[in-house]
Amino acid sequence: MRIVTWNINSLRLRLGLLRHLVDALAPDVLCLQETKVPDALFPDAAPGALGFGHVARRGMKGYNGVAVLSRHPLVVDEAAPDWGGRGDCRHLAASVSLPGGEVLDLHNFYVPAGGDVPDRTVNPKFAHKLDFVDEATAWFRATGPRRRCVLVGDLNIAPLEHDVWSHKQLLGVVSHTPPEVERLNAWRDSGFVDAVRHFVPEDQKLYTWWSYRNRDWKASDRGRRLDHVWVSPDLRPNLGGYRILREARDWDGPSDHVPVAVDIDL
């Protein structure tokens, strides 16, 4: 069972790259963020052509948007919260029915980026980000503990020192500030383990995002690990491997994020 998460930064603009992704990783379940397409304009024929017979999507005009493309049947959990009551299309919860009759619970998140100034008293976007993570943490605590559950997405926070290219230089930069990191850790500790760091020691650099604003992303390599895969603790023994598809950052017309894959033996 291979689960992939990717902030595609416009589904319609990068439909062609999905073929590259399927060729490279052959996901069973593909979770997308920043689809930037309202449901009425979703390219309905595309997933089937790539072998994904089951689709869940939640999109809006212009911004945000999440989708799940799956080779196995999906049931969307419509009762999951609308975080902040904003109708923001930042979360899809679904159950995946596996061939053996087992069910996997899936959460696909796009956490607010939080703007530029890491001060909630002057930057409402930063306040929104912190509140979003607090609300999610409280909900997962209140409704847990979970089994056979996977949470993925662009969480827009790089928690560890080596999840950014320079811990010192990014301590005051939104995505790596202490209040964000504390909250992300509390959210994870509400009932998950970090599936990628399960395989990679904390003293090794790991990035999933490189800004468009660098002349040469590879040469400067100023990346951050913003995209995550978490699993409930019962699945830890089932973790089979991971892959961060760095090469995707060099695809023609790339997203600024690259796909992250985790294999779970089920």
Shortest Å, Cβ 7 to DNA: 8
For DNA, the binding residues in 2-61 under the rule CB under 7 A are: 9-10, 12-13, 36, 61
Q: Rounded to 5 degrees, what are φ and ψ at 261?
A: -115, 140
Q: Rounded to 5 degrees, what are φ and ψ at 191?
A: 150, 30
Q: Per CB under 7 A, which region of 42-50, 112-120, 138-146, 195-203 contacts DNA?
A: 112-120
Whether 110 is a known active-site residue: answer: yes
In DSSP notation, 124-189 reads HHHHHHHHHHHHHHHHHHHH---SSEEEEEE-----SGGGBS-HHHHTTSTTS-HHHHHHHHHHHT
Residue 159: closest CA among 105, 89, 113, 206? 206
115 is an interface residue for DNA by CB under 7 A: yes
34 labelled binding-site residue: yes
**CA 171 to chain CA centroid, nearest Å:** 22
Question: Pattern of binders to DNA over 126-165, x per CB under 7 A?
Answer: ------------------------------x---------
Per the structure block, which two tokens stand in for 184?
């992300």
Of these, 113, 171, 193, 266, which contacts DNA (CB under 7 A)?
113
Three-state SS for 208? coil
Residues marked active site are found at 110, 154, 257
Residues of the binding site for Mg(2+): 7, 34, 154, 156, 256-257
Footprint of DNA on this chain (CB under 7 A)? 9-10, 12-13, 36, 61-64, 112-115, 125, 156, 212-213, 253
